[in-house]
Amino acid sequence: MAIKVRFWGVRGSIPCPGDNTVKYGGNTACLELRFGDENRLVIVDAGSGIRELGNSLLRTDLPKGPLKTSIFITHTHWDHIMGYPFFTPIYIPKTELKVYGPVTYEEDTLDKIIGGQLRYRYFPVRQSELAAQINYYQLQETEMDLGGGLKVRTKYLNHPIMCLGYRFEFGGKSFCTVYDTEPFKNVFESDPASPDYDAEAFKEGEIAAKQENEKILKFIHGADLVVYDTQYTHKEYTQGKVGWGHSTFEFAINAGHKAGVKKLLFFHHDPMRTDKELDELVLKYQKQIQGKSKLQFEAAYEGQLITI
Ligand SMILES: [Zn+2]
Ligand SMILES: [Zn+2]
C-alpha cells in the first residue's frame, strides 16, 4: 500500500445536506491522504468536511500522540476553508500544523485569510487563542520534497483567483487534484466581424490556450488517481457558466483519457446535483466511452476510501 485517499467532502460552493445528497454527501472539499505503512497524514482543503475528519482523528491518531500534519489548501475560496475553525485539533495543545496554499495578493497572507476566519465578527474564538502551533506557508508553482519519500508538485489552474493543483508522489504511485479549474480559453475576440477582432492576437490566443491546457495534461500524465473538477455538464457550462472557474464531465474525461490517467474521480459536485442525477451521468458517460477508452471513472462520494 502506497497512498490511501479518503473523501470527507466532495461538493463545490456550499454544503448541501438533504434528501437528495445522501449518497454522495453534502460537505465541501476535504481529502485525507495517508502515505505508506506509517500512515502519514496529509490533508487537502479545509471545506466543511474537515470537521468530521477532525473528529475521526481524535479517535484514530490522537491516542497515539500529538498530531503533526500539513493541510494543503488548493485556494482560499470559502468552500475550501470554511471548515477550518471547526477542525478540533487546532484547539489541542501540542498539535503542530503546517498550512500551505496560494494567495492572489501578497498583502493578503494565508494567515489573514484562513486564520482570519477566527475573529469575533465571524466566530466566538480568536486565532490568537488557539492551542496548536500553526505555521502558514504561501505556495506558488513549485516542487517540494516533504521527506520520507513523499514529494509534491503544484500547478497553476484556471480559476478567478490563484488556485493550485497538487500532484503527490510516493512509493512509485501518484495522486493528483485538479479543481477548481476550467479549460483555458482564447481571451481574444473570435468574431472577425467585431471591431475588436485582431487576427494575429486571436491566433496567438489560440496557441496560448492550447499550451496551457497541454501543461495540465502533462501535470496529470500517467497518474494512478486524479480528482477532477466536474461541476457542470458541457451543456450547463455553455449555457451561462463560462468564466466561473469550473470544468465539465466531458472535458475531464477527455483530459484523463489523453493523459493516460488510470482512474479519474469526478469531484466538486454542483450543490444542485442530486444523487440520482449523478448516478445517471456516470452511467451515461461510461456508455459513451465503452470500447473507446480504458479510462476508469466514477463520482467521488463522502466516506469513499481508495487505495493506490
Ligand atoms: Zn470550490
Ligand atoms: Zn473556487
Q: Quote the ligand 2 centre to 196 CA distance (angstroms).
A: 30
Name the nearest CA neighbour of 176 among 152, 203, 141, 146.
Answer: 152
Q: Quote the ligand 2 centre to 148 CA distance (angstroms).
A: 31
Q: Is the pLDDT of residue 209 over 70?
A: yes
Q: Quote the ligand 1 centre to 179 CA distance (angstroms).
A: 7
How far apart CA 159 and CA 247 sit, in angstroms, is 10
**Tens-place pLDDT, residues 58-86:** 999 999 999 999 999 999 999 999 999 99
- Lookup result for grid cell 500547478: 155
> Which residues crowd ion ligand 1, with CB under 5 Å?
12, 79, 180
Respond yes or no on whether the N-terminal peptide bond of residue 180 is cis (omega within 30° of 0). yes
pLDDT at residue 1, rounded to an integer: 64
How far apart CA 266 and CA 305 sit, in angstroms, is 14
Angle between helices 249-258 and 199-220 (to 10 degrees): 70
Q: Quote the ligand 2 centre to 258 CA distance (angstroms).
A: 25
Percent of the chain with pLDDT strictly greater than 70 = 100
Q: Quote the ligand 2 centre to 164 CA distance (angstroms).
A: 10
Q: Quote the ligand 1 centre to 234 CA distance (angstroms).
A: 18
**Tens-place pLDDT, residues 25-41:** 999 999 999 999 999 99
Q: Quote the ligand 1 centre to 287 CA distance (angstroms).
A: 28
Q: Quote the ligand 1 centre to 27 CA distance (angstroms).
A: 11
Mean pLDDT throughout 252-272? 98
Label residues 59-88 b or e (16+ Cβ within 10 Å = b).
eebbeeeebebbbbbbbbbebbbbbbbbbb
**Tens-place pLDDT, residues 83-119:** 999 999 999 999 999 999 999 988 899 999 999 999 9
110 burial type by CB count under 10 A (0-12 exposed, 13-18 middle, 19+ buried) = buried
- State the cell numbers at 72: 494543503
* Mean of per-residue pLDDT scores for the chain: 96
Q: Quote the ligand 1 centre to 29 CA distance (angstroms).
A: 7
What is the 3-state secondary structure of 99-126?
Answer: EEECCCCCCCCHHHHCHHHCCCCCCCCC
Mean pLDDT throughout 146-154? 97
pTM of structure: 0.96
pLDDT at residue 187, rounded to an integer: 86
8 A C-beta contact, residue 154 and residue 169: no
Mean pLDDT throughout 267-274? 98
* β pairing state of 68-72 and 173-178: unpaired
Q: Quote the ligand 1 centre to 200 CA distance (angstroms).
A: 35
Ligand approaching nearest to the C-alpha of 245: 2
How far apart CA 37 and CA 34 sit, in angstroms, is 9
- Give me the residues paired with residue 178 across strands: 228
Name the nearest CA neighbour of 204 among 223, 189, 224, 192.
Answer: 189
Q: Quote the ligand 1 centre to 84 CA distance (angstroms).
A: 15
pLDDT at residue 106, rounded to an integer: 85
